[in-house]
Amino acid sequence: MAQTTAWTRRHVLSLADFAPHEYDTILQTAASFREVLSRRTKKVPALQGQVVANLFFESSTRTRSSFELAAKRLSADTLNFAPGTSSMTKGETILDTAKTYLAMGANIMVIRHREAGVPGAIAMAMDELQSGVSVLNAGDGQHEHPSQALLDLFTLCSLLDLENPRSEVLQGKKVAIVGDILHSRVARSNIWSLTAAGADVHLAGPPTLLPKLFADLLENKGDRGSLWLHWQLDPALENADFVMTLRLQHERMAQHLLPSLREYHHYFGITRDRLQQCHRDVKVLHPGPVNRGVELSSDLMDDPRLSLISQQVTSGVAVRMALLYLLGSRKTE
């Protein structure tokens, strides 16, 4: 198992203040768990007796299943919460729901919510109660989605060095993030992790989905890669090593921000043709779920030589095992 003594963080809510050694600890720990997952018996007793509560107040397929499987592979007991069938329909508040899970012995709460800041607020309340509970943000509104960015980082670093994935292998690589940046917590978390790794991140989207304020994100962050904004696709794709496409998040659009999906695809959709201007080994990522034929052409999505989408999902389990393990073993030290 990787060296984890340096891990001191109780909650993972955002990547904005992540230190380089924290990224590398997660990458190394995830690599050990990838090895566990390749065995015949894909389970370790690391979190035996601990309770992981998955509190998903917003819909999810892969993130929720991935956290659940990760917890089970670590031998933790899992509790799954779905708002539609819970006491929230009877008026219970989010905090009271969290306290209920605390009373049942939850050690780690994995929280997704449509409002930014909810996992942070629950973490604060758990600290005030001196509960020792760890909170993992599984996506809060437009704010952050740390575990997604970490699995993206693990996928990219593993592609560049399978045996020893570490963030420095991304130094100087060009990563284009294309699409609905405004509503994307995935983009925000990836901006922190990729620039921390020294990558040059190029954001591209129509002005309504890529406001200028993103240009200020890296101010005062010091020693990092660079961040660029483009309101046209070509300069972002030119010689790019990786292209990360994002879903148009209609559920978060308060008004009509696009003339039509067809026009969006014409200007910002990623197709095989468009990839011609990228680096010849370019690979495409997408956090899922994908609107086929809108942000990404269907044939490209299914092409294993170009698409890393399945690897991202597979990486997700090892990375979430690493996160749960680091938070869970920190407590028992």
In the complex, the residues that contact ligand NCD under the rule CB under 6 A are 62-63, 139, 145, 148, 185-186, 247, 249, 287-288
Position of minimal CB gap to ligand NCD: 247
Q: How far is CA 72 from CA 44, 55, 57, 299, in A?
A: 9, 16, 21, 34
Placement of tokens 């003339």 in the chain:
259
What b/e string do you get for 222-250 counting C-beta neighbours within 10 Å, with b at 16 or more? eebbebebbbebebbbeebbbbbbbbbbe
* Cβ 132 to ligand NCD shortest distance, Å: 27
Cβ proximity to ligand NCD, 79 vs 149, nearer residue = 149
Q: CB count, 10 Å around CB of 162?
A: 10
* Cβ 57 to ligand NCD shortest distance, Å: 12
E strand or H helix at 25, and its extent? helix 20-37
Cβ proximity to ligand NCD, 46 vs 294, nearer residue = 294
* Cβ 290 to ligand NCD shortest distance, Å: 9
* Cβ 62 to ligand NCD shortest distance, Å: 5
Q: CB count, 10 Å around CB of 45?
A: 9
Cβ proximity to ligand NCD, 113 vs 202, nearer residue = 113
* Cβ 64 to ligand NCD shortest distance, Å: 9
CA distance linking residue 66 with residue 64, whole number of Å: 5
Cβ proximity to ligand NCD, 29 vs 63, nearer residue = 63
* Cβ 269 to ligand NCD shortest distance, Å: 16
SS3 36: helix
Cβ proximity to ligand NCD, 165 vs 179, nearer residue = 179
SS3 5: coil
Placement of tokens 């919510």 in the chain:
113
* Cβ 313 to ligand NCD shortest distance, Å: 9
One-letter amino acid of 264: Y
Cβ proximity to ligand NCD, 206 vs 287, nearer residue = 287
SS3 162: coil
* Cβ 29 to ligand NCD shortest distance, Å: 21
Cβ proximity to ligand NCD, 22 vs 58, nearer residue = 58
Cβ proximity to ligand NCD, 198 vs 287, nearer residue = 287
CA end-to-end span of the chain: 15
Structure-token pair, residue 64: 């929720």
Beta bridge partners of 30: none
